[in-house]
A and B are shown apart, each in its own frame.
Chain A
Amino acid sequence: MRDYFLRRLLLIPPTLLGVTIIVFAITRLVPGGPLERAIMETQQMSQAGGGQMAGQGMAISDEQLEALKEYYGFDKPILQSYAEWLGKVVTGDLGSSYRYNEPVWDVIKERFPVSVYYGVVTLILTYVVCIPLGILKAIRHRTFVDNLSSLLIFVGYAIPGYALGSLLILFFAVRLEWFPMGGFVSFNYGELSTMEKALDLINHSLLPLICYLVGSFALVTLLLKNHLMDNLAADYIRTAVAKGVSFRKSVTRHAMRNSLIPIATTFGQNITLLVGGSFLIETIFDIDGFGLLGLSSILDRDYPVVMGVVLLASLLLLIGNIISDVLVALVDPRIRFS
């Protein structure tokens, strides 16, 4: 058991290495990178600035080009610059952002709490709603309640969160003006009292949370329902009922425990939600989180930030998978990995 998890942990670095090599190579090989962007911007600036010397301003001198290449680290071959990037990462330095002129780690750190907030709240609400709902649906299988909730869950599953977001903004923020159009907190957040702060936060996060949640109920609820029904039909529940255990107790004590195992397997994957968020929802609601950072860094060709985001996201995903396995082993002592 311990060996298995040790091996899994040891497999993380090579996988991360592979992922970062692929992403690094793609960012390097694809044209239109930061260098081209900078050259274009310089050209535009010189065109706008020096009207009389138009022909001269168009070109960039060779020294300037070299300086730019060096600044963006494009003066060396891919492998060498990847090795340099890796060497810095190992010492905890993710480089610095082209756009913000700050260390990448600081840029990411600033946005982290926002995504973690939405991730944690979504996670908690999902489990709070799904576990009771799953039990209810299992016990009332093929009744009106079951059918109706299935209908709602599937419609919810089919709704893309960001699309719902745009509709919610239309009705609740633009028409009714009940909620703000977006943002994480108000501008004057710092001046508010604790109570007002909480209210402000809730006010801002209600609509995005609906979008995060709308699609997330289907998986957990149905997973729980189906496994609970499997277990309720199993012999050990029949034995328990035959020996005089009440139905309620056999559900909550016996069947539930076994039905939570598949939930545990998906728990680790939720870690990505914690950090990744959804850049589409973050874009719609203009929430300055991890997802939006990843997207805007790609659009800005801010490759150090892209690499940092990818590295962190894959690391957490890999750890999440291992946590899932650990949880499964904890919940169900019969399961032994080898």
Chain B
Amino acid sequence: MLNLNPQTLKKLRRFRQIKRGYYSFLILAGLMVLLAFGELLINSRALVVSYEGELYFPTYTAFHPGTDFGLDYDYEVNYRDLKEKFAADGSGNWLLMPLVPYNAFENHAPGGIFTPLAPNAAQQHYLGTDTTSRDILARLFYGTRIALIFSIGFMLSVYLIGIAIGCSMGYFGGVFDLLFQRLIEIWSNVPFLYMVIIIFSVIPAAFSVPTRIAILLAVMVLFSWTGMTYYMRTETYKEKARDYVAAARVIGASDSRIIFKHILPNVLSTLVTFMPFTIVGAVSAITALDFLGFGLPPPTPSLGELLKQGTANLRTAPWIVISAFGTLVALLTLVTFVGEAVRESFDPKTYSIYR
């Protein structure tokens, strides 16, 4: 079992008592699970196909050519059409589609013309379609997943660099500290979004989508690790001056042992407090970049890209902007609530007011 010290347990208990934050956390955790198994809910591949007495589970497996199920084409099966065909045949073959039978990339235009379609339960486009007839719910869902994965990756990298540099600045001090302080002051003054836009606009479109996302992540991390160093530097300075560090040094602990075993665990609460806000910042930044057209490369589903489409089609397709905005705000609000609750439970103050 996890061995938590009593202080951490107390903090966790306090966190549970802050209802708004705790419920937001539960909702977010549930959402994460849903997102992790999203293919079972929102996907153009069938969950189960029963064909000629044999069961197929195409969701996570390699694609089945149409010939596998008695169709006359050898590209990927269109399971929605297959379902209708099975129903028309009456041959005892059946298949089960996910709740939303569309994926985030396919253009499904019932009329043959790519035009935004209003929300419509009969077609199972529960939030309508976007300007190129892709299902909005599917795009929102997978866009949220990518944004969250991206932000968590962003947070981890920023923390890694921020902690390493901030800690060493605080611990070693002196010339090293002074030098890095100047460097960070300069680096943090370089306008982050401008630089990302300039650099990202020249990444060749020939690169694969994952590579371009990785480059974007790297550029964003490169220009935003500085914020974390300030906190880590002052925290380390504070901790270093304490008696237990002096005691550890007298016993003969090495620098690395003092940093990793003594100082880091004690500044952990500061780090944890900032985490949710870093996530909010990263989601906002990536959405803003997408909105401007310099974020995740198309056709990656993204909230910002939907917002952009929505604002361009305010009159003709208001459902795009409404659903994108709603999702974005709901997501950010939940994370902010968790963040505020974490902050409160890690830094408890009992107030007594005299009057």
Contact = CB atoms under 8 A, between A and B. Distances in A.
A binds B: yes
Interface of A: 11, 14-15, 18-19, 22-23, 26-27, 30-32, 139, 141, 147, 150-151, 154-155, 157-160, 162-164, 166-167, 169-170, 174, 229-230, 232-233, 237-238, 241-242, 247, 279-280, 283-284, 294-295, 298-299, 306, 310, 313-314, 317-318
A280 B158 CA distance: 24
B288 A162 contact: yes
13 contacts: A11-B182, A11-B185, A23-B190, A32-B201, A150-B340, A151-B20, A160-B284, A160-B332, A166-B307, A166-B310, A242-B354, A310-B190, A310-B191
Interface stretch (B58-66, B112-120, B128-136, B345-353): B345-353
Nearest to B185: A15
B198 A164 contact: no
Contacts of B214: none
Contacts of B329: 155, 158-160, 163
Interface of B: 20, 182-183, 185-187, 189-191, 193-195, 197-199, 201-202, 280, 284, 287-288, 291-292, 307, 310-311, 314-315, 318, 321-322, 324-325, 328-329, 332-333, 335-337, 340, 349, 351-355
B311 A284 contact: yes
B291 A174 contact: no
Given A141-B351, A167-B321, A169-B314, A155 B199 contact: no
B314 A31 contact: no
B182 A14 contact: yes
A19 B336 CA distance: 32
Contacts of B352: 233
A30 B287 CA distance: 24
Contacts, number: 128
A14 B333 CA distance: 40
Q: Is the interface of A mostly helix, strand, loop or mixed?
A: helix
B198 A169 contact: no
A247 B355 contact: yes
Nearest to A235: B354
Q: Which of B310, B324, B336 counts the most chain A CB atoms within 10 A? A: B336
A11 B182 CA distance: 9
Contact of A15 (B186, B198, B337): B186
A229 B191 contact: no
Nearest to B304: A163
A162 B197 CA distance: 18
A22 B183 CA distance: 11
